[in-house]
Amino acid sequence: MVELMLLAPAGEVERISDALMELDALAVTVEDADADTPDEAPIFGEPGMPATFGEQIRGWRHSVLKALFENETLATEAATVLLAEEGWSDLHVQGLAPVAEQDWVRLTQSQFDPVRITDTFWIVPSWHEPPAQARRVMRLDPGLAFGTGTHPTTRMCLRWIAGHADVATPWPRVLDYGCGSGILAIGAALHGATGIDAVDIDTAAVESTLANAQANGVTLHAGLPDQANGSYPVVLANILSAPLKLLAPLLCGHVEAGGSLVLAGILERQIDELTEAYAPWIALEVGDREDGWVLLTGRRA
Ligand SMILES: C[S@@+](CC[C@H](N)C(=O)[O-])C[C@H]1O[C@@H](n2cnc3c(N)ncnc32)[C@H](O)[C@@H]1O
């Protein structure tokens, strides 16, 4: 296979990508042309929101498009057609390079090993055997939605579940708010919880949660946030500090008297801001820490 590299200005990237796909590209990836230079600028985007550069521009100032073609003839033809297009005078061909054949599936899989939550509770990709000491195993493969167990925020929530669930008196209801892959909801189910609602603003996350729940043989209800209803003995939310602040009244409203609220996605320096936002309803404390992230937990009076 051959990779065609093009330098494109912001604003044209989407159109050029589409054109490359129509010209038989097998895949197109876009990278920041200013990466590793003083002009490199991060782009931000909440899940489901358009990425922004600075305040309003979508994408990077200059982008490198890398298009994969079956052979050199197709790549050269595509470059010729694009350069002949009127109005794309800022488009430059950077070069063609052969791409070595790889076993992409094996390469991707090798990056995901089983994740230890406790000695006996593990997250294990489908292509791995569970470790011998694992007594509770969640089968989970990387997908479109966040939550494979490799992020400290997810791990802290799962550790909390493992440390607080009592299989003799399982939680009769659990709310996983911002469920992503459904990892926390499934974790709660594997610890005996029933009546689980897993909600997310991203429909891809909802679908992923349903598929992962089925793969693990657990029952839960997944849907958009308005599916959360009534009060729960346990409310888990691993989002980010800014949305968690806005969601304070709503999340606290879903915690039953004596119930627990577990929040993650919060950096050490955001502890005071968050505890203050939740103080009218629940006194939050640091329940766990890992790699600069904290878990804030509290009980509703
Ligand atoms: C960091 S991921 C956490 C996923 C998973 N719960 C975990 O612990 O790994 C945050 C999830 O929250 C969702 N999210 C962000 N803002 C939200 C909001 N206002 N309401 C509901 N879900 C939200 C995102 O779509 C994303 O799937």
Distance in angstroms (rounded) separating the CA atoms of residues 250 and 12 = 41
Ligand 1 center–CA 125 separation, angstroms: 21
Residues contacting ligand 1 via CB (< 6 Å) = 47-48, 145-147, 154, 157, 177-180, 183-184, 200-202, 205, 225, 238-239, 243, 265
For the CA of 236, the nearest atom of ligand 1: 6
Which pLDDT belongs to residue 8? 84
Please, which residues have CB within 8 angstroms of residue 25's CB and are 6 or more apart in sequence?
4, 67, 68, 69, 78
Q: What is the Cα–Cα distance from 251 to 242, expressed in whole angstroms?
A: 14
Nearest atom in ligand 1 to the alpha carbon of residue 148 is: 9
pTM for the whole thing? 0.74
Residue 198 φ then ψ, to 5°: -120, 120
Cβ neighbours around 225 below 10 Å, total: 14
What domains can be seen in the chain, in order of their start residue? 2-101 (3.30.70.120), 109-299 (3.40.50.150)
Bridge-based pairing state of the strands 62-69 and 27-32: antiparallel
Ligand 1 pocket test: which of 183, 200, 208 has the largest number of ligand atoms within 8 Å of its C-beta? 200
pLDDT for the residue numbered 36: 65
238 labeled part of a ligand binding site: yes
- H or E segment to which residue 98 belongs: strand 92-98
Tens-digit pLDDT profile for residues 1-19? 999 999 987 778 888 999 9
Q: How far is the CA of 151 from the centre of ligand 1 (A)?
A: 13
For residue 159, the tally of other CB atoms under 10 A from its CB is 18
Binding site annotation covers 176? no
The candidate with the shortest Cα–Cα distance to 293, out of 275, 276, 268, 269, is 268
| ipTM of model | 0.99
How far apart CA 187 and CA 123 sit, in angstroms, is: 9
Confidence category of residue 41, pLDDT binned at 50, 70, 90: low
In the predicted model, is pLDDT for residue 56 greater than 50? no
Q: Are 258 and 232 in contact (CB under 8 A)?
A: no
Higher pLDDT residue, 157 or 15?
Answer: 157
* DSSP summary character for residue 130: P
Task: Tell me the pLDDT tens digit for each residue of 133-153.
Answer: 999 999 998 887 888 988 999
Residue 207, phi then psi, degrees to nearest 5: -65, -45
Specify which residues 65 forms β-bridges with.
Answer: 6, 30
Q: Which two tokens stand for residue 157?
A: 């929530």
Q: How far is the CA of 295 from the centre of ligand 1 (A)?
A: 15
Query: What is the structure's pLDDT at 278?
Result: 98
Selected residue with higher pLDDT from 190 and 46: 190
Query: How do strand 196-199 and strand 221-223 relate by DSSP bridges?
Result: parallel
Confidence of residue 53 (pLDDT cuts 50, 70, 90): very low
Mean pLDDT of the chain: 90
pLDDT tens sequence across 270-281: 999 999 999 999
